[in-house]
Amino acid sequence: MRFLPLFALFLTLPLLAACADDAGEPAPDAEVADAEGPLVIYSGRRDVLVGPLVDRFRQATGLDVEVRYGTDAELIAALQEEGQASPADILWTNTAGALGAAGNAGLLAPLPDSLLGRPAAFAPSSGRWVPVTTRFRVLAYSPQRVDTTALPASVMDLPQRTDLRGRIGWTPTYSSFQDFVTALRLVHGEEAAARWIEGMKALAPKAYESNTPMLEAMAAGEIDVALTNHYYVLRMQAGQDTTAAAGPPPVAMHHFAEGDAGNLALVTGAGLLNTATHRDAARRFLAFLLSPEAQAFAAEEVNEYPVVPGAALPERFLPFDRAVALSPSIDFERLGDLEATLQLLRKQGLL
């Protein structure tokens, strides 16, 4: 056919590009002046949460900033396909696992100690990204329908609660849950983690795509307990619903015993990309995220814990030290071992 050579040409172009792009050499971190144009952030966190912070940075520094929104994985896939030609400077994600994956793919540049020193408690050993906020896993429950005295002390006891059959919600496809399963594997071993998942499956839990629909479902009476992150519960309790009926809030949170894997602390973070052409502005932005103003905003508006010590927290939060004491002590970088968790979830048919 006449057009065969033309088709062949168009087919080989992506082939060549795809073969050529895989994780280019990290650029030397020489002190080069920033290029023209705006600072470009790829954000896996949503607009309604990130927009106001970016606006404040713009006003405070007068620098031009543009944000591309998406999910962590969409953006990482895009970054890998873009290769060296990527216009992005900063990657700001929803989970440490995503940053770990980005680091493994060679996308991130090392950061100076001045940035990593401040949130030292949560800083990763690789030094390739900086934590920005902290969140904790909790068990959300419906106060109207669940007896608080009967809630389990350990997340490992949950599969034995046959009275909750069909009334449990979880989010096996969501990053925070996967990080939690990784923690289960690290703390209790592979066998126990696999048995836990099988035990949970026997209770016919309802799988939601993400936490917000799950808590909405709880408020709507579809489920009674759910494994989720603390700030979803706080957000729901402080919701914008002005016509809500008076009475107890539709959701509440339960913490497991101290050190239990069910109280896992997780961080969100941001990293500097190897392809960045506005390094100076990028470092200033990362420093801004760790400033008292931004950390207080995160607590007040987004209901997440700060990573920098000494910030004042609103009343509705547990004291920071208490929350940290509840969570198991694990090296955050080890949570980056996502591949084995995904294999486990696939084997169990959840993914």
Partner 1 sequence: MASGSSLLPVQARALPRLFPRPYLWGPAALVATGVLVPLGYLVVRAFEAEPGELAALLLRWRNLRLLGNTLGLTAGVLAAATALALPLAWLVARTDLRGARVVTLLGVLPLAVPGYVMAYALLGMTGTNGLLARLLDVGWPRPSGYPGALAALTLYTFPYLFLNLRTALLGLDPALEEAARSLGYREAEVARRVVLPQLRPAFLAGGLLVALHVLGDFGVVSLMRFETFSYAIYLQYAAAFDRVYAAWLALMLLGLTGALLALEARLLRGRRYARTGGGAARHPRRARLGGWAVPAYAFAALVALASVGLPVATIVYWLGRGTEAVAWGDLGAALWDSARASLPAALLAAGLAVPVAYLGVRKPSGPSRLMERVAYLGYATPPLAFALALVVFSLAAVPFLYQTLTLLVLAYALHFLAEALGPVRSALYQAPPRVEEAARALGRPPLAAFFAATFPLLRRGLGVSAAFVFLSAFKELPLTFLLSPLGFHTLAMGVWGAAGEALFSVAAPYALVLILTSSVLVGLLLRGT
Task: Sketch the per residue contact string, 176 through 195, with partner 1: x for CB under 8 A, - otherwise.
Answer: --x-----------------
Binding to partner 1 (CB under 8 A): which residues in 270-329? Answer: none
Specify the 3-state DSSP secondary structure of 286.
helix
CB of 122 to partner 1, least distance (A): 22
Task: Please select the residue that binds partner 1; options are 213, 237, 254, 284, rule is CB under 8 A.
Answer: 213
Q: Which of residues 65-104 bind partner 1 (CB under 8 A)?
A: 66-74, 76-78, 80-83, 85, 87, 98, 101
Contact present, 199 and 160 (Cβ < 8 Å): yes
- End-to-end CA distance of the chain: give it in Å, rounded: 43
Helix segments in the chain, DSSP class H? 4-21, 47-61, 72-82, 96-104, 113-116, 175-188, 190-201, 211-219, 230-237, 279-289, 292-302, 320-326, 338-347
CB of 32 to partner 1, least distance (A): 21
Nearer to partner 1, 43 or 327 (CB): 43
Q: Should residue 208 be labelled a site residue for partner 1 when binding is judged by CB under 8 A?
A: yes
DSSP letter string over 18-86? Answer: HHHHSSPPPPP---PPPPSS-EEEEESS-HHHHHHHHHHHHHHH---EEEEE--HHHHHHHHHHHGGG-
Query: Does 107 contact partner 1 by CB under 8 A?
Result: no
Among 113, 190, 209, 331, binds partner 1 (CB under 8 A): 209
- Should residue 246 be labelled a site residue for partner 1 when binding is judged by CB under 8 A? no
**Binding segment toward partner 1, per CB under 8 A, in 14-22, 116-124, 150-158, 321-329:** 14-22
**Tokens in use for 258?**
């101290």
Confirm or reject binding of residue 331 to partner 1 (CB under 8 A): no
